[in-house]
């Protein structure tokens, strides 16, 4: 697990322009061996750009990326693969007209010379569904199977650090849970992972630490529990079934620390939900849900509920 004395990756004041836009603005990050760190933020926040800069697909305009204590300069992605740094992009990057087996062999031969059968067998043991369909064209696989194939091919490089861009986007719940299990197994084997995700339950379940990024800047960092405790009231009561805007300014407002409105729901944030729940018991036209604050509440408080044009 995490070795606090062994820093694997460090970003120092990283700045990256992409498509004429300053996408990353002075980002600092540290990741240690055996650690999983999540980058969360709205679309366009700079998460994917950060991963591309780390693995050499984009050239930073300022700052520094250090991997295993050494600055990454003009090294390309294949140079970094040889050093154990591998990225799995959101688009997965598989060869659609090749079979599963051909994809794995191509990936293995690109990574290194020598016998690869044992490593491919290890991928099949990790993802049995790929073994069952090893002759099937990759382009005909489901989204979950394609993601397994992309992960399996990345593992053939024997990575120390995996950069995963939205690794479970488009997967059904069963495939997502399977991917979570595989990521946890990799951590237990000493691998390190930096991932981006839009799923707050995923970040809360998997990560040791998370960074909230907005408009290319880090606006918060810590463990999920630390950040929730620092930025949020512990209890949330969602109220719906009436005029949410009127609820947010009506008599119930005095029973919460703050209230936010999204669509037809008013979110009451409070340190003691009992008085609010008692009052709601007499409001027979309203429905309510009482729950603890979570990472989604944190994300929305720090980045806003308004859907952005680039989202």
Q: Which pLDDT tens digit goes with each residue over 136-145? A: 999 999 888 8
| pLDDT surpasses 80 at 92 | no
Average pLDDT of the chain to the nearest whole number: 89
Residue 1 is predicted with a pLDDT of 44
pTM to 2 decimals? 0.88
User: What are the structural domains, with CATH classification, of the chain?
Assistant: 7-223 (3.40.50.300), 233-292 (3.30.70)
What average pLDDT does the segment 282-304 reach? 92
Q: Which two tokens stand for residue 302?
A: 């720090």
18-70 pLDDT per residue, tens: 778 899 999 999 999 999 999 998 888 999 999 999 988 888 999 999 999 88
Q: How far are the Cα atoms of 41, 63, 142, 220 from residue 209, in angstroms, in the given order?
A: 14, 22, 31, 11
* Distance, C-alpha 311 to centroid of its chain: 16
Cα 190-194-195 angle, rounded to 5 deg: 125
| pLDDT above 70: percentage of residues in the chain | 93
112-167 pLDDT per residue, tens: 666 788 889 999 998 988 999 999 999 999 888 898 899 999 999 889 999 999 99
Number of alpha helices (DSSP H) and beta strands (DSSP E) in the chain = 12, 14
202-256 pLDDT per residue, tens: 999 999 999 999 999 999 999 999 999 999 999 999 999 889 889 999 999 999 9
């Amino acid at each position: 697990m995490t070795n606090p004395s062994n820093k694997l990756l460090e970003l120092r004041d990283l700045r990256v322009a992409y498509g004429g836009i300053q996408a990353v603005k002075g980002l600092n990050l540290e990741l240690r061996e055996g650690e999983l760190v999540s980058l969360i933020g709205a679309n366009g926040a700079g998460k994917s750009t950060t991963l591309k800069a780390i693995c050499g697909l984009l050239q930073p305009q300022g700052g520094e990326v250090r991997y295993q204590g050494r600055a990454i300069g003009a090294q390309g992605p294949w140079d970094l693969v040889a050093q154990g740094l591998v990225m799995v992009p959101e688009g997965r990057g598989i060869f659609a007209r090749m079979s599963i087996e051909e994809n794995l062999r191509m990936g293995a031969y690109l990574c290194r010379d020598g016998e690869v059968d044992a490593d491919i067998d290890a991928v099949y043991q990790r993802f049995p569904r790929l073994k069952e369909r090893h002759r099937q064209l990759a382009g005909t696989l489901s989204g979950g199977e394609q993601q397994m194939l992309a992960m399996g091919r990345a593992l053939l490089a024997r990575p120390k650090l995996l950069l995963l861009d939205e690794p479970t986007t488009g997967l059904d719940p069963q495939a997502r849970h399977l991917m979570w299990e595989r990521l946890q197994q990799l951590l237990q084997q000493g691998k390190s992972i930096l991932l981006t995700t839009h799923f707050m339950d995923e970040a809360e379940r998997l990560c040791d630490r998370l960074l909230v990024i907005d408009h290319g800047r880090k606006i918060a960092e810590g463990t999920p529990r630390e950040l929730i405790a620092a930025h949020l009231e512990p209890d949330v009561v969602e109220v719906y079934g009436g005029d949410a805007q009127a609820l947010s300014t009506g008599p119930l407002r005095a029973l919460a620390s703050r209230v936010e409105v999204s669509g037809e729901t008013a979110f009451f944030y409070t340190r003691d939900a009992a008085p609010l729940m008692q009052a709601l018991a007499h409001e027979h036209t309203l429905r309510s849900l009482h729950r603890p604050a979570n990472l989604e509440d944190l994300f929305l408080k720090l980045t806003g509920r308004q859907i952005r044009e680039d989202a």
